[in-house]
């Protein structure tokens, strides 16, 4: 069965420091991976996706994610966090043989000034 795990409920970082939000996945076939962000009282917004190619994917708002096939991970990163990055982040995974998409439980990112 497909699954996505975000092992941290909350990540706290100081503004200006690098941040990492972790995600591991289990899918059959080739994985297709996504990150979405949900700001308070708002819908979800797409950040970035990995389909194929370069393992380092760049997305919106300065975020990037690294695909690691051997560790089945797709961690979200940003070199320098902003207070405005504080939000709920979701990792999602699918595979090409199904239209189903599995989301992780979400990780709350708190960036303190």
Partner 1 sequence: EAQVTQNPRYLITVTGKKLTVTCSQNMNHEYMSWYRQDPGLGLRQIYYSMNVEVTDKGDVPEGYKVSRKEKRNFPLILESPSPNQTSLYFCASSQSLVGTLPGEQYFGPGTRLTVT
Burial annotation 54-71 (CB, 10 A radius, 16+ → b, else e): eeebebeeebbbbbeeee
Q: Which residues of this protein are in contact with partner 1, per CB under 8 A? A: 6, 32, 34, 36, 42-46, 49, 51, 90, 92, 94-106
12 or 45, CB closer to partner 1? 45
Q: Is 109 exposed, middle or buried (0-12, 13-18, 19+ CB in 10 A)?
A: buried
The percent of the chain in helix, strand and coil, each rounded to the nearest 5, is 5, 55, 40
Nearer to partner 1, 42 or 69 (CB): 42
Question: Nearest approach, Cβ of 106 to partner 1 (angstroms)?
Answer: 5
Nearer to partner 1, 43 or 113 (CB): 43
Closest distance between partner 1 and the C-beta of residue 105, in Å?
4
């Amino acid at each position: 069965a497909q699954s996505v795990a975000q092992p941290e409920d909350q990540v706290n970082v100081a503004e200006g420091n690098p941040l990492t939000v972790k995600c591991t996945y289990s899918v059959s076939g080739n994985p297709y991976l996504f990150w979405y962000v949900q700001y308070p009282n708002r819908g979800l917004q797409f950040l970035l996706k990995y389909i194929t190619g370069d393992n380092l994917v760049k997305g919106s708002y300065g975020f990037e994610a690294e695909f690691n096939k051997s560790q089945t991970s797709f961690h979200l990163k940003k070199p320098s966090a902003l207070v405005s990055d504080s939000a709920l982040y979701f990792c999602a995974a699918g595979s090409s043989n199904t239209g189903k998409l599995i989301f992780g439980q979400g990780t709350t990112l708190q960036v303190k000034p």
